Structure 1
């Protein structure tokens, strides 16, 4: 066995099935919520205290990039989960940011750079290789504000409009979370009223709306439109905000408990943020109870329903979050029925995940690049597999908890981009996970 600190930086881990997972565990702050919250804090142009900041690599990269943009970013000495972001006065050409190519969320920095430098120069974003996720809608957003956009092979440049619009209306062709957040943050730096039709209303978006309301903005939304109205006055006071608990980590842990037929209390996550995944577990016959910030999974001695699961990722309000789909896939592999899974939001994700599950013995029929079906229950056998992206990594760990023999998962640096200590949390629940020789 290795120590927790050693395990958290291991590039390869070995997993062996054992007893059902039992206990209590708390999730970290959400990476997917923290990244836009960091960018929104900079765009507001006032001092913001952000608590419950996750320690995963993508968040560390984002904070470092914000510092390179000239913003003041400090961590509390006694609590590294508390970050203070201070406004800056800058001018001239924006900095070169080669590390922005390491994460997808670097595009959230455009409004902050427009506010501080009048222009943004960024490389094309990176992150998980899960298919084409273009930025055309982002550029359409900036052009709606009068900004100029220039593209080249290395990246893109956005130049802030000389004349600020009195108000902006934008209709999105689909519910893009990235474009919705880009429009909101762009409106913030101009203090411009915004109406956005067909917005994305994911928890990450509604979290930014709540932050803006705390800063004095009018912010409301329904399925048809999102409306922002700037505050009266300068709004120069400081703000304090907590990053919400990681809904993806919570669902990953819930599926790990369920697949081992265990019982655990998962703390620190809002039940509303994981409702679609909890409904899927209940459909399969896994009892789940949700409190204000707690989810309890009671899978010991459960009678599975045998009902086939349709897990179709969706951008619609209350739809299944695409990041929940991979963990639910492993759970469904062990339950009766002919199950249908799909993720057209990340069209390359199945291409990463399905071949790795096949190495563990899973028989999954691809119906297209984004749809697949399979029959359960299936028997998995340990093998060497590779985490090609964050969700593939967490999903393979869940599979390793029930695969016969040893499962060795390589590429754990991908997992740490989104989850700093997921293997450690699973060990706290009794999982047999150790560092393995590369």
Structure 2
């Protein structure tokens, strides 16, 4: 089973059905939380030691961008998941950051770049091709702080103008995670109080707020308002933060366990972060529970209910994260009932996922570009499929665990953007999964 980086580009993942998944596995740190925390470390202007950093490609790229933009990134000996970020004396003028085009989260760096260089010049962000997710709202956030923005075909430019004082108040038209993080980090780099209406309050945003609270920022959060106030006394000491466990990786593993009627424990994830996923599993008749630092699935005791599952992705606090929807769809294909799935947050995701599941024989009715319906149980048959984005790739692995024959998943570069080693975690639970070079 080759794993060297020299062969990875040619690899596919082969998945075959096998016994129920059992045992215990621990998830990596969350990609979606690590990226804004790294940007927050850069914006803070003091040494930050960040632990539980995942080794996926997106995080590696953001670390490289920070180094290219003037931060020193040190890896303590023997601590592969820890990095210490420190601002350096060197201040390159307008650093060129072409790698920023490879990940969507590059926009998190804007506040740190404004604080360090007075402007941010970045290419348009890349990442998963799952529909238009423009940055107009980000520009409005920076304009609320008095910054100027300009756009052209290659990318965009944000320029910090004469510093202002006083509280910044704005209301988001929808609960954008990216715009919420942009507002919070710009408040940090300007030292100004913030009142943000209709903020995104996902666990990934809350982890940034918890980190800032640890260094003296005061936060007040309600369902419709986030207020942020700077510390009364400036601090320069080093700080220690921790990336929370990956709730999406935990949810994907839980769906894989459930699909095989297994019983297993997934460690390293905050129970409250996976509560919406647990609710969906129980709706399908699958016993599951969320603990302080673990997710348990007892699918050997599954009692299919034929009740419809409505997996509707939402940005509302406590709602179903859009990234839970693809593995839940793969799971629901094997369970009785007519189930509805919708993801208007990422309007191109179904356009990626549904054709790949159809290659395995899935029959899914597309009601609208962002909404579909399926009736189970369906018997899938192994075939060659492609990870056209991170979550499509992980959902195809879940589907392959119950499909007759061999399912081969290509496009591993996409999968590895979000998961350092999802196949290895499935193997640890007994899945018949291997990476092979055709």
TM-score between both structures, scaled by the size of structure 1: 0.98
Question: Structure 1: how far apart are the matches of 2:153 and 2:19?
Answer: 52
In structure 2, what is the equivalent of residue 164 of structure 1?
A: 164
Structure 1 residue 268 and structure 2 residue 261: aligned? no
Report if the CA contact (8 A) 2:70-2:92 is conserved. no
In structure 2, what is the equivalent of residue 365 of structure 1?
A: 365
Structure 1 residue 245 and structure 2 residue 245: aligned? yes
Question: Structure 1: how far apart are the matches of 2:424 and 2:203?
Answer: 26
Which secondary structure state, in structure 2, belongs to the residue aligned with residue 300 of structure 1? helix
In structure 2, what is the equivalent of residue 234 of structure 1?
A: 234
Deviating more after overlay: 388-397 vs 165-174: 165-174
Report if the CA contact (8 A) 1:277-1:324 is conserved. yes
Structure 1 residue 428 and structure 2 residue 421: aligned? no
Please state how far the C-alpha of 1:93 moved relative to its aligned partner: 2.6
Which secondary structure state, in structure 1, belongs to the residue aligned with residue 320 of structure 2? coil
Matches within 5 A, 1:116-127: 116-127=116-127
Unaligned runs of 5+ in 2: none
Write the deviation string for residues 49-108 of structure 1: whole angstroms up to 9, x where unpaired.
000010000000000000001011111121110100012345463201110000000000
Deviating more after overlay: 343-352 vs 299-308: 299-308
1:84/1:92 CA distance change after superposition, 3 Å: closer
Report if the CA contact (8 A) 2:310-2:341 is conserved. yes
Unaligned runs of 5+ in 1: none
Write the deviation string for residues 225-282 of structure 1: whole angstroms up to 9, x where unpaired.
1000000121111110110000000000000000000011100000100110110001
Structure 1 residue 387 and structure 2 residue 371: aligned? no
Structure 1 residue 200 and structure 2 residue 200: aligned? yes
Question: Structure 1: how far apart are the matches of 2:215 and 2:11?
Answer: 42
Please state how far the C-alpha of 1:6 moved relative to its aligned partner: 9.6
Question: Structure 2: how far apart are the matches of 1:313 and 1:2?
Answer: 37
Question: Structure 1: how far apart are the matches of 2:257 and 2:6?
Answer: 24
Please state how far the C-alpha of 1:117 moved relative to its aligned partner: 0.3
Question: Cα RMSD between the aligned structures?
Answer: 1.5
TM-score between both structures, scaled by the size of structure 2: 0.98
Count of aligned pairs: 438
Which secondary structure state, in structure 1, belongs to the residue aligned with residue 380 of structure 2? coil
Question: Structure 2: how far apart are the matches of 1:158 and 1:89?
Answer: 22
In structure 1, what is the equivalent of residue 328 of structure 2?
A: 328
Which secondary structure state, in structure 2, belongs to the residue aligned with residue 385 of structure 1? strand
Report if the CA contact (8 A) 2:69-2:92 is conserved. no
Which secondary structure state, in structure 2, belongs to the residue aligned with residue 281 of structure 1? helix
Matches within 5 A, 1:115-194: 115-194=115-194
Question: Structure 2: how far apart are the matches of 1:168 and 1:156?
Answer: 23
In structure 2, what is the equivalent of residue 342 of structure 1?
A: 342
Structure 1 residue 58 and structure 2 residue 61: aligned? no
Report if the CA contact (8 A) 1:353-1:392 is conserved. yes
1:6/1:244 CA distance change after superposition, 3 Å: farther
Please state how far the C-alpha of 1:301 moved relative to its aligned partner: 3.8
Question: Structure 2: how far apart are the matches of 1:297 and 1:5?
Answer: 34
